């Protein structure tokens, strides 16, 4: 097996499989990568995760969020807005809302109405996904609309490295 080198101290490091690794590189508060590999250094205790293909991961996260079966939480709205590369002001114009309203949603100081929640999901797909993927994804998401519980639930997202799928935990 090829030697892995610690990015911190340069010592030879070993690869271990992580049962659950918390991924903090998105606005989403709780994302866990299950079964990914970590490069672990015994000398300085540094840990470097081997992150799966980032674009695919973000797209899988966005898919799970737009198909969530309860109302969106603030961190999920912020994630979708950033996924489509919009500022709060730009997002507010698209949704015909005041920018401070978007900010309140994202900080859980206010909750979007049921229809605004659904519109945010569709805007994210419309601007973030292209080609046939967009059509299938849109149909998937709208197909779930009648199952959306009328409460915002803070549920962790889990990425399973064996399948590449992302799901809300506890479903
Ligand atoms: Zn080290």
Q: What confidence category does residue 88 fall into, taking pLDDT thresholds of 50, 70 and 90?
A: very high
Q: In this model, does residue 171 exceed pLDDT 80?
A: no
Mean pLDDT of 39-63: 93
Distance 37 CA to ligand 1 centre (A): 16
Looking at residue 152, its pLDDT comes to 87
Tens digits of residue pLDDT in 12-33: 999 999 999 999 999 999 999 9
Question: For the whole prediction, is pTM greater than 0.85?
Answer: yes
Domains and CATH numbers, the chain: 69-154 (1.10.260.40)
**C-alpha dihedral, 12 to 14 to 18 to 23, nearest 10°:** 20
Mean pLDDT of 57-83: 97
Distance 40 CA to ligand 1 centre (A): 8
Looking at residue 1, its pLDDT comes to 52
Distance 23 CA to ligand 1 centre (A): 21
The angle formed by the CA atoms of residues 110, 112 and 117, to the nearest 5 degrees, is: 150
Cβ burial of 70 (10 Å; 0-12, 13-18, 19+) is middle
Q: In this model, does residue 170 exceed pLDDT 80?
A: no
Mean pLDDT of 93-120: 97
Distance 56 CA to ligand 1 centre (A): 29
> Between the CA of residue 6 and those of 19, 22, 43, 54, what are the distances in Å?
21, 20, 9, 21
Distance 42 CA to ligand 1 centre (A): 7
Mean pLDDT of 92-120: 97
Q: In this model, does residue 122 exceed pLDDT 60?
A: yes
Distance 28 CA to ligand 1 centre (A): 29
């Amino acid at each position: 097996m090829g030697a892995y080198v610690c990015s911190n101290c340069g010592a030879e490091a070993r690869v271990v499989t992580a049962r659950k690794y918390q991924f903090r590189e998105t606005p989403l508060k709780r994302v866990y990568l299950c079964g990914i590999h970590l490069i672990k250094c015994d000398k300085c205790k540094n840990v470097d995760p081997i992150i799966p293909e980032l674009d695919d991961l973000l797209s899988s996260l966005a898919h799970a969020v737009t198909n969530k079966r309860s109302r969106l939480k603030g961190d999920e709205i912020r994630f979708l807005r950033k996924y489509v590369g919009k500022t709060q002001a730009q997002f507010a114009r698209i949704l015909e809302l005041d920018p401070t309203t978007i900010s309140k949603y994202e900080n859980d100081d206010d909750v979007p109405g049921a229809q605004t929640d659904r519109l945010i999901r569709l805007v994210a797909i419309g601007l973030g996904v292209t080609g046939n993927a967009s059509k299938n994804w849109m149909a998937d998401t709208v197909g779930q609309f009648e199952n959306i519980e009328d409460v915002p639930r803070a549920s962790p997202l889990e990425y399973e490295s064996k399948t590449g799928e992302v799901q809300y935990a506890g479903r």
